[in-house]
Chains A and B, each alone.
Chain A
């Protein structure tokens, strides 16, 4: 009896060692020679996770090595970023950086943050989702200008958003700055809860992307006033942009792949190509279109310009709202 157990045990051990050795042996030659890990700062099943995993699948085809997505949720992605920036800049550990990292950089009260301009190497921006405004289906306004007029006549209008730590909250602030209206922003724990509050009559409007509101729109509970993109979305051709309505308001929540600062050029070039190829692959494009995600690709140079514009944007927004951290005042 004991002998059989020992036998099983030995084969277990042998198997494990062989497995480990096989992996060690491959670690020579050109980049990449082993699997690449992408730290995703949001839970499995969420939008960022789904999109990153799709991108990773297609990067894998280009790189010829596995690209693993590991979820490290917490702190709006900050946990994963903090972990990333101290990793070795060898290109084998990457992360997903979202717009809210700029928000955290400037928002007063924050006790921990990273500086996306300094502490990471940008590989590529691979997605940007437009923000939009959803209102009750039977509301007396159909466009953003009509809504703005309505707000000017009726003070103390309540609109839903995330907390001031979320990017959607600042979309309202940016809009208020731009068209000079006053709204009462009520924080909710998620877009779906805010949308439901609009449908149930608790709120006048809430910020939501076209895909998120789609199902409620089609059952005549809410309607979209418009979205803040430059062009209409392929999946939702009926939803107009604010620009068409004469309000030049563009707002994106975007996602990018980054590595720790100081990745050598020959390595980062390969990664940049991988992200670009993955982005333009048929599989990824199909996925983005059917799911209603916004497609945007920016390489490292354009991406850095974009980063800098976001940096200035959030800095000025925080300043106007009086929520900027002490040292930037």
Chain B
């Protein structure tokens, strides 16, 4: 039994169950067009459920934990979470504050979190932001927000 794999299998079944709930309103049969719009998602959700169950049973009973679980290095845990948060903030700012401000702020803060010296972080960020701006907006005329 491998804990991580068992959780994976369990989550697969859970996700499939959740998606079943979402699919309730899709009609299965459409008189004119043969198979209805629900046929394909249902088929896949059945497949997902069955695969999840097989995976779970397989790892619960048939696989012995020979390999040691990979050691997780908790030192970088907070860095990942911080960067994830920054990504979300970046996505929101990208829409409302426009490309230049959001990109500059994201670059500076993510580099500082990743322990680049703050002076060079600001320097590189300004350079990268203005470079991207010139290339995409001036040369390629991409209507970035």
A interface residue numbers (CB < 8 A to B): 5, 9, 12-13, 16, 68, 70, 184-185, 187
Contacts and interface: CB of A to CB of B under 8 A. Distances in A.
Contacts of B126: 9, 12-13
A185 B32 contact: yes
A12 B130 contact: yes
A305 B130 CA distance: 50
Given A16-B130, A68-B143, 8 more contacts: A5-B127, A9-B127, A9-B130, A12-B127, A12-B130, A13-B130, A16-B133, A187-B33
Contacts of B123: 5, 9
16 contacts: A5-B123, A9-B123, A9-B126, A9-B130, A12-B126, A12-B127, A12-B134, A13-B126, A13-B130, A16-B130, A16-B133, A68-B143, A70-B143, A184-B32, A185-B32, A187-B33
Contacts of A184: 32
B14 to A, nearest CB: 26
Contacts of A5: 123, 127
Interface of B: 32-33, 123, 126-127, 130, 133-134, 143
Contacts of A70: 143
Contacts of B130: 9, 12-13, 16
Q: Which residue, B33, B133, B134, has most C-beta atoms of chain A within 10 A?
A: B33
A13 B104 CA distance: 13
B92 to A, nearest CB: 18
B48 to A, nearest CB: 25
A42 B6 CA distance: 45
Contacts of A13: 126, 130
A302 B133 CA distance: 44
A185 B31 CA distance: 12
Which one of B32, B126, B133 has the greatest number of beta carbons of chain A within 10 Å? Answer: B32
A185 B32 CA distance: 8
A70 B143 CA distance: 7
A195 B90 CA distance: 45
A264 to B, nearest CB: 26
B28 to A, nearest CB: 14
A104 B134 CA distance: 40
Contacts of B33: 187
A170 B64 CA distance: 61
Nearest to A69: B143
A70 B123 CA distance: 33
Nearest to A8: B127
Contacts of B143: 68, 70
B142 to A, nearest CB: 10
A176 B32 CA distance: 15
Contacts of A68: 143
Contacts of A16: 130, 133
A19 B126 CA distance: 17
Contacts of B32: 184-185
Contacts of A187: 33
A206 B130 CA distance: 51
B102 to A, nearest CB: 16
Nearest to A70: B143
Nearest to B126: A9
B44 to A, nearest CB: 20
Nearest to B127: A9
Nearest to B130: A12
Nearest to A72: B143
A25 B42 CA distance: 59
A66 to B, nearest CB: 11
Contacts of B127: 5, 9, 12
Nearest to B34: A186
A69 to B, nearest CB: 10
B125 to A, nearest CB: 11
